[in-house]
């Protein structure tokens, strides 16, 4: 699953809000956690080292294998440096500004758009543990089924697979629910869901974004796929992942798909 986690921080309050879930995932997955700060200024990097030192000490005291990396450049340099080394990037929900807490920061959007590994966007709601996971799926394509199941198992959490359909869909809700269960069954590795509390739900909504955000209410983490193919052939989640991460209150784990 995840062996190397990298939290991209700009030292803002929102970036620090991502620390609790980063710590929880590092412990649940027995993974390394690297706190990464990027700036072209040596003075800024020295200040970041000073600010992050007690945070690193706290993480290590709790049993997390934590380290610090200072990158000369910007957040894109830090994200690109992570390609091939991090199995999960963790970012804050937004940057500083008048709309803080309402919209994703531009850096966060760029990371989601270009990362080649899963990206976790910290939620706007206070982190209270990983007890309920929600995985939003289409009924075609790979989907992050196995990853969601493995993460729920590692955290000891319940798991809901949900599918949102439009009012124009000709199939009934019962047919779609049966199709969702079959789709998950095809993608789930044998034994991967054994012993887990798994539920299946379907719901109708005018848009994928509003439907998925509504389905994720009450969840501690939302998992969804993000199409990386050119925009002309993207599936619904590929064009909606950033908007869902922006609107959802809980953390959102965006998993790139071909």
Question: Whole-prediction pTM value?
Answer: 0.86
126 domain-assigned? no
**Are 9 and 116 part of one and the same domain?**
yes
What pLDDT digit, counting tens, does each position of 191-250 carry? 555 456 899 999 999 888 899 999 999 999 999 987 644 333 333 444 578 888 888 889
Task: State whether 32 and 76 are in the same domain.
Answer: yes
- Number of residues written out for the chain: 258
Domain boundary (94, 121, 148) is at 121
Q: What percent of the chain has pLDDT over 90?
A: 47
Per-residue pLDDT tens digits for 95-124: 433 333 333 556 677 777 777 789 999 888
157 plus 250 within the same structural domain: yes
- The reply to whether 163 and 47 lie within a common domain is no
User: Please, is 100 exposed, middle or buried when counting C-beta atoms within 10 Å of its C-beta (0-12, 13-18, 19+)?
Assistant: middle
116 inside domain: yes
Q: Containing domain of residue 178, as a range? A: 132-257
Total structural domains within the chain: 2
Instruction: Indicate whether 127 belongs to any domain.
Output: no
- Quick one: 169 and 251 in the same domain? yes
- DSSP 8-state code for residue 231: G
Among the three residues 72, 101, 121, which one is the final residue of a domain in this structure? 121
Nearest-10 Cα torsion for 175, 178, 182, 188: 130
Q: In sequence order, which residues have a C-beta less than 8 Å from that of residue 46 and are 6 or more positions away?
A: none
Residues 105 and 43 in one domain: yes
The CATH code of the domain that includes 29 is: 3.40.50.620
- Shared domain for 177 and 97, answered yes or no, is no
Q: Considering only CA atoms, which of 145, 159, 147, 251 is closest in space to residue 200?
A: 159
**One domain, residues 144 and 111:** no
Domain final position from 62, 92, 121: 121
């Amino acid at each position: 699953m995840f062996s190397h986690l990298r939290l991209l921080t700009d030292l803002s309050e929102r970036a620090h809000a991502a620390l609790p879930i980063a710590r929880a995932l590092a412990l649940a997955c027995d993974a390394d956690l690297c706190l990464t700060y990027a700036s072209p200024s040596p003075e800024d990097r020295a200040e970041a080292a000073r600010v992050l030192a007690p945070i690193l000490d706290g993480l290590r005291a709790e049993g997390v294998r934590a380290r610090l990396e200072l990158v000369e450049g910007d957040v894109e340099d830090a994200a690109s440096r992570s390609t091939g080394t991090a199995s999960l990037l963790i970012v804050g929900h937004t940057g500083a500004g008048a709309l803080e807490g309402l919209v994703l920061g531009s850096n966060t959007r760029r990371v989601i758009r270009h990362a080649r590994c899963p990206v976790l966007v910290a939620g706007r709601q206070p982190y209270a543990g990983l007890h309920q996971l929600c995985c939003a799926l289409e009924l075609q394509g790979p989907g992050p089924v196995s990853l969601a199941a493995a993460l729920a198992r590692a955290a000891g959490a319940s798991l809901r697979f949900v599918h949102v359909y439009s009012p124009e869909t000709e199939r009934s809700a019962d047919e779609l629910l049966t199709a969702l269960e079959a789709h998950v069954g095809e993608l789930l590795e044998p034994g991967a869901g054994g012993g887990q509390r798994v539920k299946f739900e379907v719901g109708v909504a005018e848009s994928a974004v509003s439907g998925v955000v509504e389905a994720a209410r009450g969840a501690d983490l939302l998992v969804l796929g993000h199409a990386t193919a050119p925009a002309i052939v993207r599936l619904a989640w590929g064009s909606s992942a950033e908007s869902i991460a922006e609107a959802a209150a809980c953390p959102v784990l965006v998993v790139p798909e071909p």
